[in-house]
Amino acid sequence: MQLIDQLSDAQAKAYAKHCLETKNTEELRAATNETPDPELLSEWGLTEGQYAEAVTAALAELG
């Protein structure tokens, strides 16, 4: 989790770890091309930018 650990935002880091544990590469690739669900953003306390950063970091870790 070297890349995820480098994230400075705690919420983005927590979501990235969650993604790494619960999603596969295909799901993460799809998530990079979709607008995030507003309910998910609210639940995790993320902005769209934090979401994108988290998903990208998780995808890179799996890569």
Going from N- to C-terminal start, the domains of the chain cover 1-62
Q: What is the DSSP string of 2-62?
A: HHHHT---HHHHHHHHHHHHH--HHHHHHHHTSPPPHHHHHHHT--HHHHHHHHHHHHHHH
Question: Which pLDDT value is given to residue 1?
Answer: 84
Contact 4, 61 (CB under 8 A): yes
Mean pLDDT by 10 residues, the chain (63 residues): 94 98 97 96 98 97 91
- Give Dmax (Cα) for the chain: 28
